[in-house]
Amino acid sequence: MSDRLQKEIEELLAKLETFPPRRPLRLRARDALVSPFRSVSYRLRDLRLPHVSAGHLLLLAIAAIVIAYLAQPGGESIARFVIVGGIILFIAAFVLSLRRQSQPPEKRWRGQPLELSRPGAGSRLRSWWGHRHTRR
């Protein structure tokens, strides 16, 4: 083994034997208190929420209106507020369901537009006919 390689190995082993300085008590206590909440926040961040469509909102609004009308929990005033809220939600969901995109988004692959449609039978026949007459 060369002397240079031997020296590098000894330096690395010497660094492994020295431990990092101990952190202050206040920082260790703070980390002990914060770490459970940090793991919960990571789990909540990775949680996938279900997709809610305008149809779901319409059904929810109708259900709220019917349940508030039939059950009237806590008297008439609360039922009225729930019914008015259901009507507002119904109108908002209806307006959202009418909103349409003018064109579907263009499909792209590696920055280039992707054409998925094939030429029709007529264009293939014209192409065949054109190739046939250009040979003569």
Percent helix, strand, coil in the chain, to 5, is: 70, 5, 30
The per-residue pLDDT for range 43-97, each reduced to its tens digit, is: 777 777 778 888 888 999 999 999 888 887 666 788 888 889 999 999 998 888 8
- pTM for this predicted structure: 0.42
The per-residue pLDDT for range 5-41, each reduced to its tens digit, is: 888 888 888 777 777 778 888 888 888 888 888 877 7
C-alpha torsion 94→97→101→107, nearest 10: 160
The per-residue pLDDT for range 94-116, each reduced to its tens digit, is: 888 887 655 667 788 888 877 76
Question: Domain spans of the chain?
Answer: 56-99
